[in-house]
Amino acid sequence: MSEPSDADAVTVLEEDECWELLRTEKLGRLVVIADGRPDIFPVNYVAGDGKVYFRSGEGSKLSELAVHAEVAFEADVVGERTAWSVVVHGRARILTHFKEIQAVEELGPTPWVPTPKYNFVEITATEITGRRFALIEH
C-alpha cells in the first residue's frame, strides 16, 4: 500500500479548472435552506459561462429557492487513484423569460426520471472552489 505525500495529497484548483470539471459531469447536489436548516437535493445540471443550470418540478426545492436565493452547489467524481470536488456558492433564480429558457434547453439539462420538470433554475456563481485528491492505493 502506498500513500501520496502530504504535498501531493490535495491540490487546490484554479477557477477555470473548476468550471472545466463541472462541464464534464451531469449530476450534482444543490444545498438550500429549508425550514431554517440546510437541505440537499441531487440535480441533473449543465454548467457554462459562470453559471449552473438545472430543471426542477414543483415542490420544496423550488419553493425554498424563491424565498432563499443563496445556495451552494457541489459536484464530484471519485476514481481509482484520484478524486475531485467543486463547490459553487451563488444566487439561484427561477427563469421566466422564454429566450432564457430556450437558451438553457439548448444546453441540454435532461431529467433522469420521467416526472414533469417545467421550471428552469440558474445559479450565478459568486464563488467557486475546487480540490483534487490523490487517493490512497489499497
How much is the pTM?
0.86
Does 1 reside within a domain? no
Does 2 reside within a domain? no
3-state secondary structure of 41: strand
Does 74 reside within a domain? yes
Q: What is the pLDDT of residue 31?
A: 94
Residue 33 pLDDT class (50, 70, 90 cuts): confident
Does 7 reside within a domain? no
* Domain count for the chain: 1
Q: Domain range for residue 107?
A: 15-134
CATH for 48: 2.30.110.10
How far apart (Å, rounded) are the C-alpha atoms in residues 50 and 127?
10
3-state secondary structure of 102: helix
Please provide the average confidence, as pLDDT, over all residues in the chain.
Answer: 86
Does 90 reside within a domain? yes
